[in-house]
């Protein structure tokens, strides 16, 4: 029943759900009785199902064995936040104060392995828990030879040091507040650096530097000058953002907008400077995934209901998402191994198709191996025929980006 409710584009009332139970399974139940089934015990059950599902995922290369083979996992992490009904404020504090429209909010931390598509973290918390706190509290999860790619919200010199101490690697944009020193312990003057690069026609530099005021952290700083039109657009957006927050933009912030600035502890032989930007662009896949979760599964649009029912419904949506993504990733893995075509499956198209066929997904989980295999074979056929990611002009081409990091033999 909850899988059915999660497959609907609109919200489902208790009355609709009891009607479904009676018509589909012959189970008669009053809607009040159904509502009483949503308890703390029910929440514990669906959370356990999700945890076990994540723990028992298959792990197989999505594209090929050569894809970023220097690293154990390529961990991409991001979060999405959304407002929830105000009756949940005691469980999920939002970013607003009392009476504020966002006084209740949820944050979902999502981390996946770019090499396999495997879920590494899927945690639901209150919205006031920010990304930097998450980075500090989950630093122990990093393993040797992992590569960590995150946006600036997670940036912390202390966390980067922790990653390095575990013999793991990181790739991050440089935070505007971070102080940068050269190898002589002199603070880098980005104004002089910009003039030097402009006058000498240098588009990109790769320097060994140190970041952090108190405890210096050695990193590679990869700098790239942006075109004038990109700088003007960045400046316009930043000015608008600072005005909205009631702040004045610092001159140093204006200056740094001239650059793409990345820091990493990966050696140049394993990650050349020209591949820094294409690799970091993969982080955008997390943002696209959140858009799919919201547009396809409406995880942010559940109606007002009691806490226990709301959380159960949200967790079941996440369970359905994980199951569906496992299927899509498996199909992608098989297609890549066959090597018949270089295209990549579209998560958006595939999730839309799988959502409407939730009954088949449920049967895969419940039927015998023979029947489940047949159902999966049909899903494989459908997805492999016409669910490809489109190539678009003047926009980032994900397929070409993947090929940059795959060694193709003759």
pLDDT in tens, 48-74: 999 999 999 887 888 888 889 899 999
Helices (H) and strands (E) in the chain, counts: 16, 9
List the beta bridge partners of residue 187. 181
E-strand stretches of 145-249: 147-150, 169-173, 180-181, 204-211, 217-225
Select from 321, 305, 311, 219 the least CA-distant residue to 261.
219
Rounded CA gap, 341 and 337, in Å?
10
- Structure-block tokens of residue 83: 């407002």
Select from 185, 131, 139, 130 the least CA-distant residue to 160.
139
Q: Helices 358-366 and 307-338 meet at what angle, rounded to 10?
A: 80
Check: CB of residue 18 under 8 Å from CB of residue 34. yes
Select from 151, 171, 174 the least CA-distant residue to 255.
174
User: DSSP secondary-structure letter at 93?
Assistant: B
Check: CB of residue 209 under 8 Å from CB of residue 181. yes
Tens of pLDDT, residue by residue, the chain (410 residues): 888 888 877 778 999 999 999 999 999 999 999 999 999 999 999 999 999 999 998 878 888 888 898 999 999 999 999 999 999 999 999 876 444 456 899 999 999 999 999 999 999 999 999 999 999 999 999 999 999 999 999 999 999 999 999 999 999 999 988 999 999 999 999 999 999 999 999 999 999 999 988 789 999 999 999 999 999 999 999 999 888 888 888 888 899 999 999 999 999 999 999 999 999 999 999 999 999 999 988 899 888 999 999 999 999 999 999 989 999 999 998 888 886 556 788 999 999 998 887 778 888 878 899 998 998 899 999 998 889 887 766 556 677 777 778 754 43
Mean pLDDT estimate for the chain: 89
β 147-150/169-173 pair status: parallel
Residue-wise pLDDT for 100-144, tens only, equals 456 899 999 999 999 999 999 999 999 999 999 999 999 999 999
β 259-264/217-225 pair status: antiparallel
- Structure-block tokens of residue 317: 């949506």
């Amino acid at each position: 029943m909850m899988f059915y409710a999660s497959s609907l584009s609109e919200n489902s009332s208790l009355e609709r759900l009891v009607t479904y139970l009676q018509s589909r399974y012959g189970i008669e139940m009053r809607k009040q009785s159904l509502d009483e089934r949503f308890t703390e015990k029910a929440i514990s059950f669906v959370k356990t199902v999700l945890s076990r599902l994540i723990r028992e995922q298959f792990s197989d290369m999505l594209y090929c064995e050569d894809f970023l083979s220097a690293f154990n996992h390529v961990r991409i992490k991001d979060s999405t936040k959304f407002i929830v009904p105000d009756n949940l404020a005691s469980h999920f504090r939002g970013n607003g104060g009392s009476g504020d429209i966002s006084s209740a909010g949820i944050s979902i931390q999502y981390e996946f392995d770019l090499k396999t598509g495997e879920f590494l973290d899927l945690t639901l918390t209150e919205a006031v828990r920010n990304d930097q706190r998450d980075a500090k509290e989950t630093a122990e999860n990093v393993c040797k030879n992992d590569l960590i790619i995150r946006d600036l919200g997670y940036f912390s010199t202390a966390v980067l040091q922790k990653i390095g101490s575990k013999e793991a690697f990181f790739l991050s944009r440089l935070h505007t507040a971070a102080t940068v020193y050269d190898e002589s312990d002199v603070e880098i003057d980005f104004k002089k650096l910009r003039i030097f690069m402009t006058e000498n026609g240098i588009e990109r530099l790769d320097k060994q530097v140190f970041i952090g005021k108190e405890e210096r952290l050695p990193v590679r700083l990869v700098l790239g000058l942006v075109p004038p039109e990109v700088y003007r657009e960045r400046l316009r957006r930043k000015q608008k953002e600072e005005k909205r927050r009631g702040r004045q933009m610092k001159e140093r912030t204006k200056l740094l907008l001239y650059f793409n600035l990345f820091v990493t502890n990966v050696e140049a032989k394993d990650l050349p400077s020209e591949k820094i930007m294409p690799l970091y662009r993969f982080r955008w896949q997390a943002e696209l995934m959140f858009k799919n979760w919201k547009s396809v599964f409406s995880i942010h649009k559940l109606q007002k209901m009691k806490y226990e029912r709301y959380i159960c419904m949200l967790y079941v949506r996440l369970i359905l998402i994980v199951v569906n993504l496992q299927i899509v990733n498996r199909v992608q893995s098989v297609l890549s191994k066959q090597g018949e075509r270089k295209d990549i499956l579209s998560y958006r198209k595939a999730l839309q198709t799988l959502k409407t066929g939730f009954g088949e997904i449920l049967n895969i989980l419940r039927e015998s191996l023979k029947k489940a295999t047949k159902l999966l074979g049909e899903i494989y056929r459908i997805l492999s025929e016409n669910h490809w990611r489109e190539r678009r002009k003047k926009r980032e081409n994900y397929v070409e980006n993947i090929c940059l990091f795959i060694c193709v033999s003759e």
